[in-house]
Amino acid sequence: MADIKTKDFSKASAVSILDPQLRRALRQVGTGFDAARRAAIDEVSPKLWDEWREEARRIKIHSLDHLDYYLDLLEQNVTKAGGHVHFAKDAAQANDIMAELVRTRNIKIATKSKSMVSEELSLNPALEAQGVDVYETDLGEYIIQLAEETPFHLVAPALHKTKEQVAQLFTDKLGIPYNDDINALAAAARLALREKFLQADLGISGANFLVAETGTLVIITNEGNGRLSTSAPRIHVGITGMEKVIPSLQDLAVFLRLLPRSATGQRITSYVSMITGPRRADDEDGPEEFHLIIVDNGRSKMLADPDLREALYCIRCGACLNICPVYQKVGGHAYGWVYPGPIGAIVTPSLVGLKEAQDLPQASSLCGACREVCPVNINIPRMLLHLRQKSAESPDPSERSAGLVPNLLAEGYTRVMRSPALLSASHKLGRWQQNVWAAMPFFPFSKKGGMIRKASLPLLSRWTRMRDLPELPKETFRDIWKKDLKEGP
């Protein structure tokens, strides 16, 4: 599996939030991707859009509820078309399958179109260990491969890089003269990779969808690298999570409408490629062998949990990242693993372990914007809450991670709120504390318009370092009610 740095979320996000370049790049996410998404939805009408979302959701619910059946059907139809299906229960097994394939077929060069699952598995190092040169061919993935980083965004992996950085990277790694014109950079990548496509023995792709009825792998791309990777080499291996299967060819229509619009605001991407088995005997070109590796790697655990199954409906469009005010502040790397943003805050703890990634579900104001934009209407905030429940109360000690202090605070809060008398008493205590602070010269403290201003108070510094506090009033509402309001105006 890919390196897990989820424990560093607090630290990493505190650093990334101050990075001026990231802030510029992230501000563009709202003005670029999200604005394009909105325009695309307005064009189809929000009402029709909601009908599509509901249809897509129904398809996903049905597919996942009968996943065993559709995986079986898919396997039969891929096999019937001359392909081979391999099932992997975890990352190690998936990488072993790949290693076995490249060993027995004497693969030296592989080109890869974008695949989040392969990032999850850390497939590239596994292939390199077999002596295979692997080239990422999606421009963004290529950049981060050269930079030895992980994707910053589901759809735009190198979103955080400036053109100057990419130009310097290309100069350092490809030995070409520095040129930071974006067209020139794309042309340089085309030139470098074109040669690899034609030399490669193996093309690797992910899958956006798998159609059980026909045994078809569907990939949705813009650059053409997906077409080349799945057409030019003599072997094509598709590798993907088991949740990607949908029943019928007809189910594809709604997803082709939702995914490009949600991801980039496009009516459709430049290319949609549907691959069913290897090339047929009489075809002009295409791979002689087609393999499909279907990966569990923790997904069956999500499937078994009614509170998390919904996360498997995700079609990886990235819309929830683009709208998320937290993602827009901290960026993709702070999330510490492969899947960033709101959906990442659910998928990551589910796949790497909740205790390992306990901060991620907490790092949300639960504003719900992610759910509002999700093309399959995934209730992301609800799942974040359910993960928080597991952290706080799960009977399974491998999930429970809440510390003593939060536990005591929650207990204390419950006790006070259970008793109106205790609540009144705590208000009085707070007033007393406030007066004590006010009387002490060493706490800078001023009052104005009902606010405690520019205070630096013990216990409250996490609030007061950037915000003023309302003054605790003399009377609570219930005091005023009893005195003035109870008997009517």
Considering only residues 373 through 392, tell me which ones interact with another protein, judged by CB under 8 A: 377, 379, 382, 385-392
241 contributes a contact to another protein by CB under 8 A:
no
Write the binding mask 305 to 344 for another protein: x where contact by CB under 8 A, - elsewhere: -xxxxx--------------xx--xx--------------
Neighbours of 365 (CB within 10 A): 10
293 contributes a contact to another protein by CB under 8 A:
yes
Binds another protein by CB under 8 A, chosen from 107, 228, 320, 338: 228
Report how far apart the first and last C-alpha atoms of the chain are (Å, whole number): 67
174 contributes a contact to another protein by CB under 8 A:
no
Give the interface segment with another protein, choosing from 128-136, 201-209, 249-257, 434-442 (CB under 8 A): 249-257
Strands of 13-154, DSSP E: 84-88, 109-112, 133-136
173 contributes a contact to another protein by CB under 8 A:
no
Give the interface segment with another protein, choosing from 126-134, 256-264, 344-352, 436-444 (CB under 8 A): 256-264
215 contributes a contact to another protein by CB under 8 A:
yes
Q: Which long-range contacts (CB under 8 A, 24 or more apart) does 16-22 make?
A: 16/330, 16/331, 16/333, 16/334, 17/329, 17/330, 19/331, 21/160, 21/162, 22/160, 22/331
Binds another protein by CB under 8 A, chosen from 118, 145, 214, 434: 214
Name the 3-class secondary structure at 13: helix
Write the binding mask 357 to 376 for another protein: x where contact by CB under 8 A, - elsewhere: -----xxxxxxxx-xx----
Neighbours of 449 (CB within 10 A): 8
47 contributes a contact to another protein by CB under 8 A:
no
278 contributes a contact to another protein by CB under 8 A:
yes
300 contributes a contact to another protein by CB under 8 A:
yes
Tell me how far apart the alpha carbons of residues 372 and 374 are, in angstroms, rounded to a whole number: 6
Binds another protein by CB under 8 A, chosen from 7, 8, 61, 445: 61
Give the interface segment with another protein, choosing from 93-101, 117-125, 335-343, 434-442 (CB under 8 A): 93-101
CB 133, min distance to another protein, A: 18
Tell me how far apart the alpha carbons of residues 295 and 71 are, in angstroms, rounded to a whole number: 11
425 contributes a contact to another protein by CB under 8 A:
no
Let me know: does 2 contact 320? Beta carbons within 8 Å: no
Alpha-carbon torsion (305, 302, 34, 381), positive or negative: positive
Q: How far is CA 469 from its chain centroid?
A: 35
273 contributes a contact to another protein by CB under 8 A:
yes
Q: How far is CA 118 from its chain centroid?
A: 14
447 contributes a contact to another protein by CB under 8 A:
no
Binds another protein by CB under 8 A, chosen from 39, 413, 429, 435: 413
CB 164, min distance to another protein, A: 10
Tell me how far apart the alpha carbons of residues 292 and 216 are, in angstroms, rounded to a whole number: 10
- State both tokens at 434: 């406030």
156 contributes a contact to another protein by CB under 8 A:
yes
Binds another protein by CB under 8 A, chosen from 6, 118, 157, 346: 157
Instruction: Measure Cα distances from 373 to 61, 236, 262, 355 in Å.
Output: 18, 34, 8, 28
- Judged by CB under 8 A, the chain residues 133 through 152 that form the site for another protein are 137-140, 143
CB 285, min distance to another protein, A: 5
Let me know: does 320 contact 113? Beta carbons within 8 Å: no
